[in-house]
Amino acid sequence: MVYYPTLAGEIAKRGIKKKTIAECLGVCDKSLNNKLSGRVPFTWPEVKLICRTFFPDMSPEELFAASTEQETGV
C-alpha cells in the first residue's frame, strides 16, 4: 500500500484538521482519507493547493514522497 508518511506527519505535527484540508480541496473526508492512504491518487492541482495553503515551507516532492508498505507474510 502506498501512503504519504511525511504529509501525515506534518498534518499531525502542525495540528491541521483533515476536515479542513478536505474542505479546501472540495472533497469529503472519506475521499481525503482514500487519497492519504494511497487508494486514490492526489491530482497535481490538489498537491499544489495543499502545499500553497498549508505547507508553503515545503516542496511538493518532499511533502508527497510516497512510501510503500509491504506485507511481511508473517
pTM of the model: 0.84
Q: Give the chain's radius of gyration (CA, Å).
A: 12
pLDDT value at 6 more than 60: yes
Paired residues of 67 in beta bridges: 3
Predicted pLDDT of residue 58: 97
Predicted pLDDT of residue 70: 46
Helix (H) or strand (E) run with residue 3 in it: strand 2-3
67 three-class SS: strand
CA distances (Å), 30 to each of 11, 24, 36, 74, in order?
16, 14, 10, 30
CATH code reported for the domain at 2-68 = 1.10.260.40
Predicted pLDDT of residue 69: 55
Predicted pLDDT of residue 2: 53
Span 15-56, pLDDT tens digits: 999 999 999 999 999 999 999 999 999 999 999 999 999 999
